[in-house]
Structures are given as structure tokens and as C-alpha cells.
Amino acid sequence: MNIYVGNLSYDTTEEGLRQAFEQHGRVDSARVIMDRYTNQSRGFGFVEMPDDSEAQGAISALNGQPVDGRTLRVNEARPREDRRPSRSYESDRS
């Protein structure tokens, strides 16, 4: 199951995110989403857990709990929506 984790502290690392979820079961991957320009956390991430019952347990246990000074929002990730490509800066410079 793919799990969305929101309201992450900018100090939370992928290893820290993994450790928080590993207390509730096996974790295949943990990613903190980084801004491509500043290389700073965008404040959310995703955790993949192979066992759905362990994943549901982790969601229930961690949603609303403080991690690194921030209260987490944790739920099952929704499928990614197709987004229109954004206009590039270069196309505005005609």
C-alpha cells in the first residue's frame, strides 16, 4: 500500500520517516519529496508497505502524532492525477 504522509518537518529525513513506519511493519520504501530548485523538503512524502493490514495499522497509529515537532497527516495515497504541463519561463519571454 502506498501511504501519503503530510505536514512533515523540513528536518525529517527519509531514514527518519522509514524508522517511524518500521515500528508498525515492513517498509519497502520511504521518500521525502524535495523541491527541485531549493533541494529543501516540500513537507510531505510517501511510504510503501507491502502488507495492507500493517499499513492500515501504521496509518491509524501515526495520523495526528507528532514527529520532529510536527503533527503528521497520514492516509492512503490517492492515485496521481494527470497534470497539464506547466508553462516554462522561456515561453513567457517572447
Question: What pLDDT shows up at residue 79?
Answer: 83
Residue at 85 is within a domain = no
If we measure between CA atoms, which residue out of 5, 27, 8 comes closest to residue 18? 27
Question: What pLDDT shows up at residue 85?
Answer: 65
Residue at 88 is within a domain = no
Residue with cell 533541494: 39
Total structural domains within the chain:
1
Low-confidence residues of the chain: pLDDT under 70: 82-94
User: Number of C-alpha atoms within 13 angstroms, CB side, residue 11?
Assistant: 4
The predicted-structure confidence for 38-62, as pLDDT tens digits, reads as follows: 999 999 999 999 999 999 999 999 9
If we measure between CA atoms, which residue out of 59, 40, 63, 37 comes closest to residue 48? 59
Q: Which domain holds residue 24?
A: 2-77
CATH number for the domain that contains residue 6:
3.30.70.330
Residue 7: DSSP 8-state: S
Residue at 89 is within a domain = no
Residue at 94 is within a domain = no
Question: What pLDDT shows up at residue 32?
Answer: 97
Cell of 27: 517498509
